Copies of this chain bind each other. A is one copy, B any other.
Amino acid sequence: MKELFYNYICELQEKITNSLESIDGKATFKEDIWKRSEGGGGRTRVIEDGAVFEKGGVNISGVHGNLPKTMQTHLNVSQTSFYACGLSLVLHPKNPLAPTVHANWRYFEMYDLNGNIIDQWFGGGLDLTPYYLFEEDAIHFHQICKDCCDRHDSSFYKNYKKKCDEYFWNAHRDEARGIGGLFFDYLKPTTQMTLNQWYSFVTDVADNFLNAYLPVLNRRKELPFTKEQKDWQEIRRGRYVEFNLVHDKGTLFGLKTNGRIESILMSLPPKVQWRYDYFSQKKSQESKLMDVIKKPRNWV
């Protein structure tokens, strides 16, 4: 499974970056191959200052070795070795009317002292962070998520949509990071779902990432926008930074366990503003977004 999934994310990275480059038309992805001293490494691809993408990264990594102490505590296991691989992406479009998108799909194996697999699971998801609310965009994105889920189990969408709203909750602001999508973790073999069936589900979701995001992006990327809308985008991006640095388990885990900092923090937006108490100023278009950020809605 680890080879199967690693090969899958390699090809997916290629497919996604090719597609995004052709949409951007100006900037191309810069590639960095890196090695992890404790075992494994990754292929980071970052695009900056494009015609469409102000900044974005589509990264894969496959790492192995002894499980770091912090992760042992987190997973409640004693010393063991592990393998983990995944693809992570974050895209920050230039146009404030186009939403930021994040996605991640990962696979994890743990071994006993003889190298036998003692545990294995998939995790991941995708979620959208608009700066202005277009209901048709939210509905489209969630409809693609739901269609993927429904092909595998009728309970998945409701469950993983809820988990997404819960996970991407900026608790100190009492608001969501964005308008959600799917979030799942610890997808392990059960009597209902074999590991191969989870593989089919996760790769089905990943295969549909471009279908979920590109129609939204294409509708918004060339719309005219004002300086005030750009400011609002940069201020909302501040909340994106706050979530990633204060609450996001993946980011904090990476920062505290000697991960490759530049690959982890490629998720941070290119230009960000913090103004004092800005959000109390109610404006019509901006407050339309805030209403759904404060109270996540069902879109499909």
**Interface residues in chain A, defined as those with a beta carbon under 8 Å from any beta carbon in chain B:** 30, 32, 46, 48, 55, 57, 171-173, 234, 238, 241-242, 245-246, 252, 255-256, 261-262, 265-266, 268-277
Contact = CB atoms under 8 A, between A and B. Distances in A.
Contacts of A241: 241, 245, 272
A276 B30 CA distance: 10
> Which 8 A/B pairs are nearest by Cβ-Cβ distance?
A245-B245, A268-B274, A172-B255, A46-B276, A262-B277, A272-B272, A245-B246, A271-B273
B246 A255 contact: yes
Contacts of A252: 246
Contacts of A173: 261
A46 to B, nearest CB: 4
Contact of A274 (B242, B272, B274): B272
Most chain B CB within a 10 A radius of its CB, from A265, A270, A276? A276
30 contacts: A30-B276, A46-B276, A46-B277, A48-B275, A57-B276, A171-B256, A172-B256, A172-B261, A173-B261, A234-B271, A238-B268, A241-B245, A241-B272, A242-B245, A242-B265, A245-B245, A245-B246, A246-B252, A262-B276, A262-B277, A266-B276, A268-B274, A269-B274, A270-B273, A270-B274, A270-B275, A271-B271, A271-B272, A272-B273, A272-B274
A255 B242 CA distance: 11
A272 B57 CA distance: 19
A257 to B, nearest CB: 10
A242 B264 CA distance: 13
Contacts of A255: 172, 246
A115 B269 CA distance: 49
A242 B252 CA distance: 11
Contacts of A277: 32, 46, 262
A273 B269 CA distance: 7
Given A46-B276, A173-B261, A270-B275, 20 more contacts: A48-B275, A55-B274, A55-B275, A55-B276, A57-B276, A171-B256, A172-B256, A234-B271, A241-B272, A242-B245, A245-B245, A245-B246, A246-B252, A246-B255, A262-B276, A262-B277, A268-B274, A271-B273, A272-B272, A272-B274
Most chain B CB within a 10 A radius of its CB, from A261, A270, A271, A272? A272
